[in-house]
Amino acid sequence: MKFNYQIIIEYLGANLVGWQIQKKGKSVQGMVEKALSKTLKTNIKIIGSGRTDAGVNAWAQSANFFVTYEIKDIFKVLSSVNFYLNNYKISIIKIRKRKLNFHARHSARKRIYEYIILNRVAKPSIDYERSWLVKKKLNIKNMKKGISYLIGTHNFSAFRSSSCSAKSPIRTIESASIKKNKDKLIINFTSKSFLQKQVRSMVGCLKYVGEGKWYPKKINELINSKKREYCAPPAPAAGLYLKRIYY
């Protein structure tokens, strides 16, 4: 008999090589698989909802795994697996039983990514490696105009990494928003899926708009160009968070 379980994972991406197991360095997938295998006393392989790059954070990454017996004491398993993850900034928030056809990646209906810009002169202490420090005052009104061009279905070739393996550059941004909270700008994007480095590239372009290097409509012109070389440098990984996945 086989049982399928979903886990919700929170992690800080600093000092990690990203989600996927690499030949060198510590990955979220690798650390979680080891902790689950020790706890459940069997070899566990997890299926993630998607890959996050080195340095990217998550409040609610989702993954699933199969095991040959039913987990009776979820609290005990949660406590044990998090004990093995104690030395890393990775936590398993929830474990829940799912139907056998549940797939963390393919069953996802939409994903929300959040980016945090710290817009002030002073360097961050509490938010170090958790945000992007931009010292020049940003024009939020223009950034909101710029972000409106990203909403909808577009060819996002100009925003994808050269190493992106997605078959199609067409993606639909269901919603996008910028909110100010004291000295922080909080940028949210919702889509079923994103291209590699798409969110960081979009944020990098919005920063150019906010600084006055670009006028807001330049975002639309970039989309139409489909040329990566015209894109602004991607925003740093530290400010990016996988916020939520809907099934």
The residues, ordered by sequence, that sit 6+ positions from 212 with a Cβ below 8 Å of its Cβ are 139, 142
Burial class of 6 by CB neighbour count within 10 A (0 to 12, 13 to 18, 19+): buried
Which of 53, 73, 127, 183 is catalytic? The answer is: 53
Active site includes 53? Answer: yes
- In 88-194, at which residue ranges do the beta strands (DSSP E only) sit? 90-98, 110-118, 132-133, 152-155, 170-181, 184-191
CA distances from 90 to 72, 87, 233 (A): 23, 8, 28
**Any idea how long the chain is?**
247
Nearest alpha carbon to residue 1 among 80, 100, 115: 100
Cα separation, 239 vs 55, in Å, equals 9
Whether 189 and 199 have beta carbons less than 8 Å apart is answered as yes
* Two tokens, residue 30: 């690798």
For residue 245, give the H/E element and its range.
strand 240-246
Active site residues: 53
